Each structure stands twice: as C-alpha cells, then as structure tokens.
C-alpha cells in the first residue's frame, strides 16, 4: 500500500486519543464528521437516501456507521464488519483515595482479563465520563474527560523485598495494583482529592459532580519495533487496531451497491451482555431501521447479509511454540487470520471461511487459519454472539498478535495494513 506510512502514523495518532471506549467513540465521530457522514437519532424516523453516509451512537461507548450504495435497493444485501471498543484495564472505584505514610493511591477494580504484571512501572493516566448536576432530574449532564498526561503509576516491589518475584507469584489486585497518584504535602487533605482534581480539569464545581466512570489507561505511545520496523508495539491493539482498520475502510471505500456497516460495540471483554454490547438486540434493531428507512418496510430476509467479526488473533510466539496447534500456527506478517473452532467459540463456517479466502485473494493479501491447541481452552469474540440475533453468514478474523491483554501488545505491520485493504475490498464489492 502506497499510503502505508499515513496509516501507521494515523493509527498512532488515533491511539493517543482512543484511551477508553467513550474517548474511542468520540475519536471515531470526529473522523466520520470530517468525511461528511450525517448523524442520526435512534429515536427518530429515518429517511435515507442513495449514496448517503450516516452514523449514530445510541450509547457513548458504541457507534454504528453505514453507507448506502448509489441505488436505493437492498438487493445486494448488507456487508457488516464488527469490532469492539473496550480493552482490559482498571476501573476506579467510588471513594477511591487510600492514604498510607503520606502517599495517596487509588482503589481500583479489574475490568476484563489484563496481564497484571505488565501494568507495573508504567506511566498511566485517567479517562472516562463524569455526571454533573442538571435541571432535569433524570438527565444529568455528562462530560467526557481525558487527563492525557502521566498522572499515575503502579510501582513494583523491589526484588530485595520479594525474592520470589521471578518465580511466578500471584498478584492481588486489591492490595498490589493500587496506582500511586501523589505524595501529600503537610496539611493536604486526602478526602475527595481525585474529585477535586477532576473538577478542576473539567471546569466544574466539585460539589456538582454526582458520579464518575473513570478508568486507568497506559499513556505510552505506539512505536514500530524490529530490525526492519516490521512490528507495531502499542497499548490496546486488541481491539482498537481492528476498530481503526474498519473505520478507515468505511470512510475510504466506494459503496457500489447495498449497505456497508461498521459496528463498534462495547463490553466484549466482559461478555458483551450490556445494552451497548453485541449480546443485545441493539444491532438488529438498527439494521431494521436502516431497512425501513430505505425501503419503507421491515426486513423479510437476510440471506444476502455477510458479517465479518474483526478481533485480535493469537500469533505464534517464538518462545512458546508448543502453545499453538501443531499444524495451524499463524505467524505475524504472514497474513490476516481466520479463526476457527469446532465448538463454535468462533462463528466461522466452511462457507464463510471460503468466502473470506476469496475476499483476501481479490484484495491481494495473504491469509492464515487459527485453531486452538486441542488441550487448551481458547477465548471467544463477537461472531457467535452476533449470530444469536442475526441468522446470517459470519466469519471471525483478526490480525495475529503477541502479548494479547498485556499493557502493550504486538502485531505485524503488514498484517495491520492488509486488514485495512481487505476490509476496504469487502466494502467495495459489487
């Protein structure tokens, strides 16, 4: 791809802003607005037009974008790519201040399944949403906030005081993962320290803040690594690499017929069982409104729908080759990965696998296949959940990566660029 440098720098810029699901959605909105997409309201009637470009965000941590072909018919069906906006992290609890010997830490809880030891000794920051008093009792004002600077860290205990540290010691989140916020000076009050800090940052009175939904995130930037710069090291690659790839694909592709949809859902890391997650009727409701907004009648069949579930895949680790299947070993920079499971933890089936292979051939990119080692239980993703509500063709794919759920993850640069190309090709099918 001639514009590979632009995509890499664009991804790194995107990742600086996409720090929590709410901030990720805000960043996507900004991109869509710059590309001429029009905002829709889920509670209003839609009158959609040929060649139209639209987006809606019913909830602040998820967003749907779609384009309509030059013909106002759905005869060519819907092409959908789904990815998720959340990642393993730590959420700040209410009344979070914990003071010890003049040092102030924050009480946090685990979100999803992070690799805990990778969070030590990193520059960390805070982002999320705060709810502020308003004149409408049931509608408080909500402000999105991102400190965008290293304000926290979780210091390791010195090896001299923890001689077993390199032998695999269990980490207790409640005790050992409290981020250090500040060192209190004499007479400085610890109570509501974070509240006051957030209020000042948001430009509101502390007494007007009703509640806070704030998360801790790694504020290190993405970089190219490897002797030839062939790998991308960055926080939140799972799954924001696919979010970025899908976003770029839908804004840069020419819709030649039918409906193209980019669905960015939340809460995949904790099972998707929320109103803004894939395990809800939300996406199917939106598809119904799109159909009615064009053809003025409900959906009568879905046989021409095709869904790509785009999420991270496990690449072959050079130090742990025995963890992979003995014959299906995706390698970074060797192709986007089709994820397969006989137990249906992935939704890929023979027809959809074959279809995606042909799509890769058309796009001129390589593909690989991933199946779990037969003696190890693997994870799941959006594909099987979406197929509960959409009885359509689904394939699970993703870039092969290392260190999944670490504070920093690793993927192949070429795989990342290829994912943009294959998704763009998908959206440009005639």
Q: Please calculate the CA angle 25-147-60 and round it to the nearest 5 degrees.
A: 20
Over 70: is that where the pLDDT of 2 sits? no
- In sequence order, the β-bridge partners of residue 411 are 232, 401
Question: How far is Cα 360 from Cα 113, in angstroms, rounded to an integer?
Answer: 31
Q: What is the pLDDT of residues 347-390, one digit of tens each?
A: 999 999 999 999 999 999 999 999 999 988 878 899 999 999 99
Contact 29, 55 (CB under 8 A): yes
Question: How far is Cα 155 from Cα 181, in angstroms, rounded to an integer?
Answer: 11
User: Which helix (DSSP H) or strand (DSSP E) does residue 423 occupy?
Assistant: helix 413-427
- Per DSSP, the residues of 138-164 read T--EEEEEE--S--BB-PPPPGGG-TT
Predicted local distance difference test score (pLDDT) of residue 77: 85
Over 70: is that where the pLDDT of 231 sits? yes
Question: How far is Cα 218 from Cα 123, in angstroms, rounded to an integer?
Answer: 6
Whether residue 239 is preceded by a cis peptide bond, meaning omega within 30 degrees of 0, is yes
Confidence of residue 257 (pLDDT cuts 50, 70, 90): confident
Question: How far is Cα 212 from Cα 132, in angstroms, rounded to an integer?
Answer: 9
Q: Which fold has domain 4-87+236-427?
A: Aminopeptidase (3.40.630)
Arithmetic mean of pLDDT, 305-315: 96
Question: How far is Cα 174 from Cα 93, in angstroms, rounded to an integer?
Answer: 11
Estimate to the nearest angstrom the gap between the alpha carbon of 270 and the chain centroid.
Answer: 12
Predicted local distance difference test score (pLDDT) of residue 298: 64
Question: How far is Cα 238 from Cα 250, in angstroms, rounded to an integer?
Answer: 20
Classify 426 as helix, strand or coil.
helix
- What is the chain's mean pLDDT, rounded? 94
Contact 81, 310 (CB under 8 A): yes
pTM score > 0.85 for this model?
A: yes
By mean pLDDT, which of 19-23, 161-165, 261-265, 334-338 is the weakest?
161-165
Question: Domain-by-domain residue ranges, the chain?
Answer: 4-87+236-427, 89-218
Question: How far is Cα 371 from Cα 67, in angstroms, rounded to an integer?
Answer: 34
Strand order in the sheet with 223-225: 223-225, 231-234, 409-412, 400-402, 313-314
Kindly state the percentage of the chain with pLDDT values over 90.
87
Is it true that 4-87+236-427 and 89-218 share their CATH fold? Answer: no
What is the rounded (10 degree) CA torsion for 418, 16, 179, 62?
-70
Arithmetic mean of pLDDT, 93-122: 96
**Counts for the chain of helices (H) and strands (E), in that order:** 9, 20
Arithmetic mean of pLDDT, 150-177: 94
- Per DSSP, the residues of 271-308 read TS-STTSSSSSHHHHHHHHHHHHHHSS-----TT-EEE
Question: How far is Cα 430 from Cα 300, in angstroms, rounded to an integer?
Answer: 22
Q: Which CATH number fits domain 89-218: 3.10.110.10, 2.30.250.10, 2.60.40.1180, 2.120.10.30?
A: 2.30.250.10
Around Cβ 174, how many Cβ atoms within 10 Å? 10
Kindly state the percentage of the chain with pLDDT values over 70.
97
Confidence of residue 73 (pLDDT cuts 50, 70, 90): low
Q: What is the pLDDT of residues 260-308, one digit of tens each?
A: 999 999 999 999 999 999 999 999 999 999 988 887 666 656 668 999 9
**Higher pLDDT pick, 415 / 430:** 415
Question: How far is Cα 115 from Cα 112, in angstroms, rounded to an integer?
Answer: 10
- In sequence order, the β-bridge partners of residue 144 are 129
Confidence of residue 75 (pLDDT cuts 50, 70, 90): low
Tell which residue, 194, 191, 186, has the closest CA to residue 152: 194
């Amino acid at each position: 791809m001639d514009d590979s440098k632009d995509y890499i720098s664009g991804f790194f810029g995107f990742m600086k802003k996409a720090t929590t699901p709410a901030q990720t959605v805000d960043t996507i909105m900004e991109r869509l607005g710059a590309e001429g997409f029009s905002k829709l309201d889920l509670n209003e009637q839609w009158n959609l037009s040929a060649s139209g470009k639209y987006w809606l965000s019913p909830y602040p941590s998820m967003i749907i974008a779609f384009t309509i072909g030059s013909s106002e018919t759905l005869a060519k069906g819907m092409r959908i790519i789904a990815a998720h906006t959340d990642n393993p992290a730590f959420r700040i609890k209410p009344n979070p201040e914990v003071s010890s010997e003049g040092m102030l830490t924050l009480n946090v809880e685990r979100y999803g399944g992070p690799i805990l030891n990778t969070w030590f000794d990193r520059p960390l920051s805070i982002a999320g949403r705060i709810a502020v008093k308003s004149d409408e009792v049931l509608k408080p004002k909500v402000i999105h906030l991102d400190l965008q600077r290293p304000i926290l860290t979780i210091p390791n205990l010195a090896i001299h005081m923890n001689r077993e540290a390199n032998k695999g010691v269990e980490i207790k989140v409640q005790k050992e993962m409290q981020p250090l916020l500040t060192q209190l000076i004499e007479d400085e009050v610890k109570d509501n320290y974070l509240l006051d800090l957030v209020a000042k940052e948001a430009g509101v009175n502390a007494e007007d803040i009703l509640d806070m939904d704030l998360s801790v995130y790694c504020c290190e930037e993405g970089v190219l690594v490897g002797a030839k710069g062939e790998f991308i090291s960055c926080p939140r690659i799972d799954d924001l690499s696919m979010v970025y790839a899908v976003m770029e694909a839908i804004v840069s592709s020419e819709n030649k017929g039918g409906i193209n949809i980019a669905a960015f859902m939340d809460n995949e890391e904790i099972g998707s069982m929320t109103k803004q997650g894939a395990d809800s009727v939300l996406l199917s409701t939106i598809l119904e409104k799109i159909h009615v907004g064009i053809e003025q009648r409900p959906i009568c069949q879905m046989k021409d729908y095709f869904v790509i579930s785009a999420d991270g895949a496990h690449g072959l680790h050079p130090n742990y080759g025995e963890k992979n299947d003995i014959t299906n070993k995706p390698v970074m920079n060797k192709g986007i990965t089709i994820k397969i499971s006989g137990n249906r933890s992935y939704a890929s089936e023979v027809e959809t696998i074959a279809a995606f292979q042909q799509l890769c051939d058309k796009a001129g990119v390589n593909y690989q296949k991933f199946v779990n080692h037969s003696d190890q239980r693997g994870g799941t993703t959006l594909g099987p959940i979406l197929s509960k509500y959409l009885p359509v063709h689904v394939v699970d794919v993703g870039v092969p990566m290392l260190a999944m759920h670490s504070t920093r993850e690793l993927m192949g640069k070429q795989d990342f660029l290829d994912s943009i190309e294959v998704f763009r090709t998908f959206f440009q099918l005639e």
